[in-house]
């Protein structure tokens, strides 16, 4: 049943050869990789105004224009920088690979950890923002926002588990629908404003004058909130391998179009916020209020709200594209568990997708899907990776000194300085809002990743054999002497099957049982005599009901006469039930025994399975009546 459900949800497995067909071009790649960036228009301007309006009232809208212009300028700089990254590193990995190759392992792992945190927060913030958008249109369901978020998250996970090609088609249409919605609102809003429509002006509370230094601090804090609009720009450079060939060409085109979209949509909504000033209201987003001012609470308003909700949820899909790719590169190099480098049935990095879903769901529940609380953790991770990436590219150009390197070095050098300043600004002004969690979490992740790498190196060194060592080994001559022990609890079909198998692999076989009382020991011995076998039965009494310890003591005792160099195979009888819930009705002693025995290098553990039939087949069959 589980297998059938899995096939229904994610489809049939794809062959390795189908990977080339799964890759996308600009048409499908743009909406997938731009969702995070373009969705920021739904909350970036609002986050800026939430800082400015309570302090400087109507003047906030003028400052919004300046801050938006600065963010757009930073966008242009990042676009130029990442075009160079795509050209130089077409195999994906983005900031992690750039920093690692040019600045060293620590810088690379730092970039990878920071970017991983950002991807996780992208999912949590985007899904929570989607919930805000829909509850703005339907306030009655506001109290169910966490459940709505988890529902969105599961749907996106399933869509991505279906594979790169299919997920790009599933999630692209909503992205294009949102682009059309916001572009329509910008065009109609600007047209109505300049055709003389009367726009109601909100009533602002009287504010006290502030000093120039306070104004600078206020603007920097608002700027740190608005920088959320730039998350997702790096996604294209991380996902170059997902593009059709020539992948570099398609990736650069997609990046250019992504930047143009962010410029148009973010700049346009910032302009609308100036033309149609509204005051932030709990449960009602600024974008939804502007939409009402322009279209009224009619079909177009609901179209904008629904597409906004969907694109905010789909913004998480950018992270579902970037995170598994990034983490797979790091896994192949041994900095995270190797399982994360494996492709699933549909050729997507399914383990990475599942990990991202689980951690993001935990964040949503912990922060109660509150965007204002989550946004404090947001952006700092991606700007750390921006800074390390640009610094790495600067080092690359200064080392290679290839044609045109000075211009390229200037772009990346200037980008590194600007993004480093932004990191400091975000860290300072968002520290008390939750950025301290990221500041603490990234070093902990770096420490963990380095420990994982050390473990893999240690394992590799212990397992590695040099060619000259291989030449000295004669497998045909140096054969282990195999001794077999079959632990049995009772005499039944499962234990007899294990004993029969034991005789096929060794002449030195012992049946072993642990008794917790004299009565059960005697009963077992009486039934064992009926077998008329030469295999001896050893029964050990265990007053403390231990299972593994008596077996190990027996192996080490003179009674067993174990010789150094011999291998001991322990065959564990095991019956498997048909229904998953039946497992809870039987003790899982075998799992515990197996785990403990595998700690000893001279013991081999083998499981002898016996598949049981369904309950109804047995109960309705007279053959099994007792």
CATH number, domain with residue 542: 3.40.50.620
Q: Judge if 236 and 340 occupy the same domain.
A: yes
More confident residue, 140 or 232: 140
Over the stretch 40-67, which tens digit does the pLDDT of each residue have?
Answer: 777 677 778 778 777 777 777 788 888 8
Of the candidates 605, 390, 613, the one whose C-alpha atom is nearest the C-alpha of residue 498 is 605
Q: Residue 375 — pLDDT band, cuts 50, 70, 90?
A: low
Closest-CA residue to 188 (of 305, 280, 271, 306): 271
Has residue 462 been placed in a domain?
no
Name the one residue in this structure whose structure tokens are 């590695």.
464
CB 204 within 8 A of CB 399: no
Helix (H) or strand (E) holding 580: none
> Mean pLDDT across the stretch 475-489?
80
Whole-angstrom Cα distance, residue 74 to residue 387? 12
- Is 488 found in the same domain as 401? no
* Peptide bond preceding 246 in cis form (omega within 30 of 0): yes
Same domain, 501 and 419: no
In this structure, are 70 and 12 located in the same domain? yes
CA-nearest of 361, 332, 363, 334 to 349 is: 332
Task: Report the pLDDT averaged over residues 70-87.
Answer: 84
Whole-angstrom Cα distance, residue 546 to residue 543?
8
- Is 468 within the bounds of a domain? no
Same domain, 525 and 406: no
pLDDT at position 510 over 90: yes
Alpha-carbon distance 194 to 81, whole Å?
37
Structural domains of the chain, count: 2
Q: How far is Cα 89 from Cα 100, in angstroms, rounded to an integer? A: 12
**Bridging pattern class, strands 509-515 and 482-487:** parallel
- DSSP state string for 232-285: TTTHHHHTGGGBPSSHHHHHHHHHHHHHHHHHHHHHHHHHHHHHS----BTTB-
Last residue of a domain, one of 388, 423, 457: 457
Domain span including residue 122 = 2-457
* Residue of higher predicted confidence among 525 and 437: 525
174: pLDDT strictly greater than 90: no
With contact defined as beta carbons under 8 Å apart, do 160 and 323 qualify?
Answer: no
Quickly state the pLDDT bin for 71 (edges 50, 70, 90).
confident
**What's the mean pLDDT in 451-458?**
90
> What is the C-alpha separation between 148 and 281, in angstroms, rounded?
21
Q: How far apart are CA 53 and CA 376, in angstroms?
A: 18
Cβ count near 178 (within 10 Å): 28
Strand, helix or coil for residue 539: strand
Q: Is residue 469 part of a domain?
A: no
The residue behind tokens 């950025």 is: 435
Instruction: Please indicate, yes or no, whether residues 452 and 511 belong to a single structural domain of this protein.
Output: no
CA 34/CA 175 separation, integer angstroms: 8
Least confident of 204-208, 485-489, 596-600, 610-614: 204-208
Name the domain boundary from 441, 457, 473. 457
Nearest to 373 by CA among 152, 149, 128: 128
528 in Cβ contact with 491 (< 8 Å): yes
Place of tokens 């966490």: 146
- β-sheet with 567-576: strand ranges across: 537-541, 509-515, 482-487, 567-576, 603-611
295 and 430 both lie in a single domain: yes
Does a structural domain hold residue 463? Answer: no
- Closest alpha carbon to 317 in 134, 159, 196: 159
Return d(Cα 112, Cα 90) in angstroms, integer.
Answer: 17
Is 345 buried (19+), middle (13-18) or exposed (0-12) by CB count in 10 A?
middle
Whether 509 has a pLDDT exceeding 90, the answer reads yes
Do the domain assignments include residue 323? yes
Q: What is the pLDDT of residue 200?
A: 62
* 60 and 49 Cβ atoms separated by less than 8 Å: yes
pLDDT tens digit sequence for 12-34: 777 776 666 667 778 877 877 77
> Could you tell me if residue 141 is inside a domain?
yes
For residue range 215-253, what is the model confidence (pLDDT) as tens digits?
Answer: 888 888 888 777 777 777 777 877 788 788 888 888 888
Pairing of strands 567-576, 509-515: unpaired
**C-alpha neighbours within 13 Å on the C-beta side of residue 368:** 5
Task: Name the nearest CA neighbour of 589 among 528, 547, 625, 621.
Answer: 547
User: Are the C-beta atoms of 104 and 97 separated by less than 8 Å?
Assistant: no
Residue 165, domain member (yes or no): yes
No. of helices (H) and no. of strands (E), the chain:
25, 5
Residue 560 burial (CB < 10 Å; 0-12/13-18/19+)? Answer: middle
Question: Tokens 């087949």 map to which residue?
Answer: 617
Structural domain includes residue 546:
yes
Asked whether 98 and 387 are in contact (CB, 8 A), the reply is: no
At 361, list the tokens: 């769901």
| Pair (71, 186) in one structural domain | yes
Are 212 and 303 members of one domain?
yes
- Cα separation, 425 vs 420, in Å, equals 9
One domain for residues 90 and 237: yes
**pLDDT tier for residue 127 given thresholds of 50, 70 and 90:** confident
Tokens of 603: 């013991």
Q: What is the biggest distance separating any 2 CA atoms in the chain, rounded to whole angstroms?
A: 105
Quick one: 439 and 496 in the same domain? no
Tell me the per-residue pLDDT of 237-247, one tens digit each, with 9 for 90 and over.
777 887 888 88
Closest listed residue to residue 113, CA positions, set 441, 457, 455: 441
CA 386/CA 294 separation, integer angstroms: 37
CATH number at residue 139: 1.20.1740.10
- Lookup: tokens for 11: 């489809």
Among residues 266, 287, 314, the alpha carbon closest in space to that of 32 is found at: 314
């Amino acid at each position: 049943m589980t297998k059938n459900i899995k096939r229904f949800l994610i489809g049939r497995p794809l062959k390795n050869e189908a990977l080339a067909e799964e890759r996308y071009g600009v048409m499908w790649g743009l909406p997938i990789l731009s969702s995070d960036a373009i969705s920021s228009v739904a909350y970036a301007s609002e986050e800026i105004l939430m800082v400015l309006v309570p302090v400087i009232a109507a003047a906030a809208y003028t400052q919004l224009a300046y801050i938006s212009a600065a963010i757009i300028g930073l966008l242009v700089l990042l676009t130029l920088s990442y075009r160079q990254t795509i050209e130089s590193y077409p195999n994906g990995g983005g900031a992690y690979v750039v920093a690692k190759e040019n600045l060293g392992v620590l810088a690379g792992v730092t970039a990878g950890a920071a970017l991983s945190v950002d991807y996780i927060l992208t999912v949590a913030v985007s899904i929570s923002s989607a919930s805000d958008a829909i509850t703005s249109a339907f306030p009655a369901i506001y109290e169910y926002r966490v459940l709505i978020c988890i529902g969105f998250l599961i749907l996106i996970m399933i869509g991505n588990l279906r594979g790169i090609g299919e997920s790009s088609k599933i999630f692209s249409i909503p992205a294009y629908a949102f682009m059309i919605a916001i572009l329509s609102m910008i065009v109609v809003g600007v047209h109505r404003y300049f055709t003389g429509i009367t726009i109601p002006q909100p009533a602002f509370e009287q504010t006290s004058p502030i000093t120039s230094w306070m104004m600078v601090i206020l603007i920097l804090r608002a700027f740190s909130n608005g920088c959320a609009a730039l998350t997702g720009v790096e996604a294209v450079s991380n996902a170059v391998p997902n593009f059709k060939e020539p992948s570099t060409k398609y990736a650069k085109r997609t990046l250019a179009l992504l930047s143009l979209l962010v410029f148009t949509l973010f700049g346009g909504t910032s302009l609308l916020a100036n033309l149609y000033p509204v005051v932030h209201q709990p449960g009602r987003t600024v974008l939804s209020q502007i939409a009402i001012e322009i279209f009224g609470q009619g079909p177009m308003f609901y179209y904008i709200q629904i597409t906004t909700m969907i694109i905010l949820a789909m913004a998480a899909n950018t992270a579902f594209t970037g995170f598994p790719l990034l983490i797979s590169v790091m896994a192949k190099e041994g900095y995270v568990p190797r399982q994360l480098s494996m492709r699933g049935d549909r050729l997507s990095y399914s383990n990475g997708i599942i990990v991202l879903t689980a951690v993001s769901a935990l964040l949503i529940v912990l922060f109660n899907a509150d965007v204002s609380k989550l946004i404090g953790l947001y952006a700092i991770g991606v700007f750390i990776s921006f800074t390390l990436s640009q610094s790495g590219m600067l080092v690359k150009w200064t080392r290679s000194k290839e044609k045109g390197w000075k211009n390229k070095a200037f772009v990346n050098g200037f980008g590194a300085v600007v993004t480093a300043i932004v990191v400091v600004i975000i860290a300072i002004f968002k520290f008390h809002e939750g950025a301290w969690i990221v500041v603490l979490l990234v070093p902990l992740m770096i420490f963990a990743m380095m420990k994982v790498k050390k473990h893999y190196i240690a394992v590799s060194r212990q397992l590695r054999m040099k060619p000259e060592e291989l030449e000295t080994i004669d497998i045909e001559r140096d054969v282990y002497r195999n001794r077999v022990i079959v632990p049995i609890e009772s005499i039944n079909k499962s234990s007899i099957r294990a004993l029969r198998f034991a005789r096929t692999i060794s002449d030195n076989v012992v049946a072993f049982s642990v008794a917790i009382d004299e009565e059960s020991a005697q009963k077992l011995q009486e039934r064992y005599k009926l077998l008329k076998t030469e295999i001896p039965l050893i029964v050990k009494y265990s007053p403390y009901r231990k299972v593994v310890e008596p077996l190990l003591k027996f192996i080490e005792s003179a009674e067993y006469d174990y010789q150094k160099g011999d291998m001991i195979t322990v065959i564990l009888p095991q019956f498997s039930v048909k229904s998953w819930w039946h497992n809870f009705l039987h003790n899982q002693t075998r799992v515990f025994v197996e785990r403990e025995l595998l700690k000893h290098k001279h013991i081999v553990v083998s499981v002898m399975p016996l598949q049981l039939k369904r309950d109804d087949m047995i109960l309705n069959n007279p053959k099994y009546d007792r």
